[in-house]
Amino acid sequence: MTKNIINILPENISNKIAAGEVVQRPESVLKELLENALDAESKNIDVIVKQAGKSLIQVVDDGKGMTEDDALICIQRHATSKIKDVRDLESINTFGFRGEALSSIAAVSKFEIRTEMQDDDIGTLIITDGGENVIIEKGSFSKGTSVAVKNLFFNVPARRNFLKTNATELKHLIDTFKKIALSYPGISFKFYNDDDLLYNLKGDNIYNRMRELFNDKILDSVIEVNEPTDFLSVSGFIAKPTFLKRSKAEQYLFINKRFVVSKLVNHAVFSAYESIVEKGDYPFFALFLNIDPYKVDVNVHPTKREIKFDDEKSIYSLVNAIVKKSIGSYDLVPQISFNERDGKEKLRFTEYSGSAKNDFSDRPVNTGNKIIKNKSAFSDDDIDQLFDSLNPGIKKNAANLDREVSHPFDEKSSKEIYHVDSRTIEQSTSTESTHASFIVALHNKYILSQIKSGLMIIDAHVAAERILYEKALKSLNTNMPFSQQLLFSQTHQVDPGDFTLIKELNPHFSKLGFELKFFGNNTIVIDGVPSDIKMGNEVNILMEILDEYKTNQREKDIDIREKMAASYACKAAIKAGDKLDEKEMRLLVDQLFATTMPYVCPHGRPIVIKIPLDEFDKRFGRT
C-alpha cells in the first residue's frame, strides 16, 4: 500500500511560514502595530523600542480598546474586525483587513496585549509565547491598547540571524514611523529608543509636522501641491529643483492616507520635472492622493504596500499634469553667486530664492500696450514671425508686429506677469514707469536683461528650443499642423535604414508640418515644411531631426512624441551666432516665460540664470 506523502501542516508551523510574508524585520512589526492603533481612532500614540526592536517593540495608544473575547480572537489567523464579506474588499477604508498581522507577529515573538475599553473599569492582559501557552489576566490598565512584542524571532533563529545592525534596523523603524506620522499630522506621536525620546510630535497641521519630521527650513525648499478633482485629489509637497536627493528614500506617497509604493506615480512625478533633474538625482516629495476606494486595489500583497489602480493611464496623466502645474506656479530661475571654497572662488548655484505662488515679479515683464486679461500672451503667428524673421527673404515680417513693444522689461511699470500655466497676463494697478530697463545681446548668444534683483542671462538658442518644443508637442497632441508649401519640392535620397525610419515616423512628421512623399530607390520628396524651418535648409533640417531623434531614442526613456518634439526643437531653433534685433529678443523672452518650463531646454541645458545685485556690489566693493 502506497503511503501518502502530502500532509496538512500543523497550525504552529503554518503560522511561522505566514509570518515570513508579513514580518520581515522589526520595521514590519512597527508598521502593523501603528496601523492598528490608527484604526482604533487613537489620538495619542507612543512607540517604545529597545535594541532597534530586536528585544522590544511596544506601541501604546488611547484608542477604543478591546473586550477580552476580542483580545483573544485577534491573535488568531484571519481574525479581523475590518471586513465581513467579500464585497468589503472592494472598498477598504481601514489599514488592516486581512487578519494576518497579529497572529503572524505572535507566532515569532513573546507577545503581550494590555487593553481596556473607554467605558470599562477592568481591562484584559493576554500573554503568549510564540503563539502557544496563552495566559489571560484581568486588571486595571490605561484606556486603549498596549501591544508589546519581545524577543522577535526568538523561535526562528535563522530569520533573526538575517537582521542587520542595530543602526540599520533603527533607521528602518524611524522611516516607517515618519511615514505614518506624516500622514496623520493631527495625531500626537512619541518615539522612544532605549529610553531616549527621539520624537515628540504634537497633533498639529501638516506644515508643522513637515518641520518636525524634516527640518525648520523644509518649507522653503518645497512647492505646495493642492489640486482637488472629482476623480483624484492630490495634495502635499514636491521639491524645488535645488532640493534633490541621491536616492529614492525620501519619496513619500500616500493613497487615502496609506503609505504605498507605486512605480507608476513615482514616474509621473519624476517625468513632470522633465530635464530639471539630472540622472542619478531624485526629487523629494510627500504627496497625498485621495481616490474612491473602489478604484484602487490594496489587496495585492500581505504588506499592503503595493497597489493597483483601476485606470492607470488616467492616474499617470493627472498626477503628471498636477505636478507640472505646481512647478510652473513658482519662479524657479536659479541664482548664481561667487563663493570662496578651499581658498578659491567658484561660481556655483545658490538656493532658489523663496517666492510666493504665482509671484513672477523677478522676471523680465512686458510693459507695452495693454493686453486683454485671460488672453494668450502671444499667438503661434507671433512665434512664426520671430523665427521666420531670421530668414532674409521674409525678414520684413518681424518689423510689422501688430503691437508696439516699448521697454517690456521695465520692472516699475505695469507688472503684467505671465502665469506659466494659463498663459495669461495680469495687470497691476500701477502703470507709472520711473526708468527703463535694458535688453542687449552678448556675442549673439546670450540675452542680458535687467530684473528687480539684478541681472538675468538667457541663452537664446535653448530658449528658442523650449518654445519650439512646446509648440511641437501641441501640434503632435492636437494633430493641427501648419505647413508652408515649397515653391520647388526638394528631393533627397537616403540610405535604406533612414528611409524606413522616416516612413515609420511620417505620421509624426506630418503633425509637425512636414509634407513628405516616398518613392522607390529610397527617395524622399519634401513638398512642405513647418513655418519655423528656414528656407533652403529643408533637407538638412529633416535629416538633422532624424539624427537627433535616433540619439534621443538611445539615451532617453520618453514618449515618442516627446522625442520627436525635442529633436525638432533642437534643429529648428535659432543657432548660437544668429543675430536678433531688439524686438526679436523681447518677443523671444516674452514667449519663453509663457512656456510651462522656462528653466531648461528639453535636453536639460539651463536656459536662464540670475546674478543678484549683491554680487555686483561685492565685486565692486560696495559692501
Q: What is the 3-state secondary structure (H, E, C) of 169-237?
A: HHHHHHHHHHHHHHHCCCCEEEEEECCEEEEEECCCCHHHHHHHHCCCCHHHCEEEEEECCCCEEEEEE
Confidence at residue 484, expressed as pLDDT on a 0 to 100 scale: 85
Q: Which residue carries 484581568 as its cell?
A: 138
Cell numbers standing for residue 89: 474588499
- Give, rounded to a whole angstrom, the gap between the first and last alpha carbons of the chain: 101
For CA atoms 486, 541, 579, 610, the dihedral sign is positive
pLDDT block averages, 10 residues each, the chain of length 623: 61 53 85 91 96 96 92 72 47 53 87 93 92 87 95 88 92 95 96 95 95 89 91 92 73 91 90 75 90 77 69 91 87 73 56 68 59 42 51 40 40 37 38 56 90 90 90 82 84 91 90 90 91 80 84 66 81 78 89 86 84 85 77
How far, in Å, CA of 366 to CA of 169, rounded?
A: 57
Question: SS3 breakdown of the chain: % helix, strand, coil, rounded to 5?
Answer: 35, 25, 40
For the chain, how long is the longest CA-to-CA vector? Answer: 107
Fold of 214-328: Ribosomal Protein S5; domain 2 (3.30.230)
Which pTM was predicted? 0.69
Q: Which CATH number fits domain 11-204: 3.30.70.360, 2.102.10.10, 3.40.630.90, 3.30.565.10?
A: 3.30.565.10
> In this structure, are residues 40 and 64 in contact, taking their beta carbons and an 8 Å threshold?
yes
The domain made up of 463-572 has a fold known as Ribosomal Protein S8; Chain: A, domain 1 (3.30.1370)
pLDDT, position 233: 94
d(CA 258, CA 297): 12
Tell which residue, 321, 358, 332, 359, has the closest CA to residue 234.
321
Residue 529 identity (one-letter amino acid): V
3/8 Cα distance (integer angstroms):
15
Q: What stretch(es) of the chain map to CATH 3.30.1370.100?
A: 463-572
In the numeric block, the cell 501641441 is attached to 474
Overall residue count recorded for the chain in this entry: 623
Q: Where in the chain is the domain with CATH 3.30.230.10?
A: 214-328
Reported as type and span, the H/E element at residue 381 is: helix 380-388
Across the beta sheet with 515-519, what order do the strands follow? Answer: 483-493, 523-530, 515-519
Where are the domain boundaries for CATH 3.30.565.10 in the chain? Answer: 11-204
Grid coordinates in use for 68? 477580552
C-alpha cell at 218: 523644509
Per-residue pLDDT, 240: 84
What is the pLDDT at residue 43? 96
Q: Give me the amino acid identity at 115.
A: T
Measured CA angle at 554 (ends 551, 555), to 5 deg: 85
**DSSP state string for 323-378:** HHHHHHTS--PPBEEEEEETTEEEEEEPPPPP--TT--TTS--B-SS---TTS-SS
